[in-house]
Amino acid sequence: MLNQSNTFPWIAGFAVLAALVNGIGVYSIVRYRSWAEKSKTYLMCFAAGVLISTPLMLALPQALNKNSYAGFAAAAGFLFMVFSNNFIRHHTKKDSLAFSIVMAEGIGIHSLVDGVIYVVTFSVSILTGFLSAIGLVVHEFAEGVITYLIFMDAGVGKRKAIWYALFISSFTTPIGACIAYPFMGSLSQDGLGLMLGFMAGVMIYISASHLLPEATEEGKGHSILAFLGGVGLALFIVLSKVIQ
């Protein structure tokens, strides 16, 4: 492990950059709503490609390498989202609202853990952290756009949708980094493996059960290309992790 004082500027810088890029995504969708409506399906397919490929190719294998029980944590993350979705649907009686809450729940967990990942990877080495952070930051713009859109589709007011999107998908990344940083010295590999496994299960559920079906319902042409673009980004993240 590196000296934590040497890694703090990198961790803080990339956590803030991720939040800014996400915020730019929210601003863009508010400012250019007509563009966003036309691009929504493609953005959701792109995000689905990222969120289903990243855990399968990167997060889950790494989690299993650190803890052989990480697969159980992944199943727990998946089941947690399944039961959360059913609970919310039962009590809200509104599919669109349930979809938005479940999406927000999953994106919030994902963004929070992004901040933790910055802390962990930069503590391994500056190069590993830098390459990982670049891959994570790239998808933040689309995540900000999509988070805002799902709240608007659920009937949330424009101003509330902006603040909800910023808090859930933008602010949570630096919050996650701030929470994890003080405990970095005592974080066990077994614990990290379980956490990464849980996150992988959450991301797989969001993509396979919500994002991709919601996006493909409209049947827009070239949506498969957008999905493959997301898979390509995930592949870039994986390759950037192994090229050191």
More confident residue, 231 or 218: 231
166 has pLDDT over 60: yes
pLDDT in the model for residue 187:
65
Model pLDDT for residues 75-92, shown as the tens digit of each residue: 998 998 888 777 766 665
- Stretch 214-243: mean pLDDT: 73
- Dig out the tokens for 6 from the structure: 């040497």
User: Residues of the chain with pLDDT > 70: what percent?
Assistant: 77
Alpha helices by DSSP H, listed for the chain, are 4-31, 33-54, 60-66, 70-92, 95-124, 126-138, 140-153, 158-165, 172-180, 189-205, 212-216, 223-242
Alpha carbon 76 to its chain's center: 17
Polymer length of the chain:
244
- Stretch 192-209: mean pLDDT: 81
The C-alpha atoms of residue 130 and residue 192 are separated, in whole angstroms, by 19
The DSSP secondary-structure symbol of 68 reads: T
Q: Which of 26, 217, 1, 225 is nearest to 128 (CA)?
A: 1
CB 241 within 8 A of CB 125: no
The domain locations on the chain are: 4-213
- CA distances, 230 to each of 79, 142, 210, 227 (Å): 24, 10, 16, 5
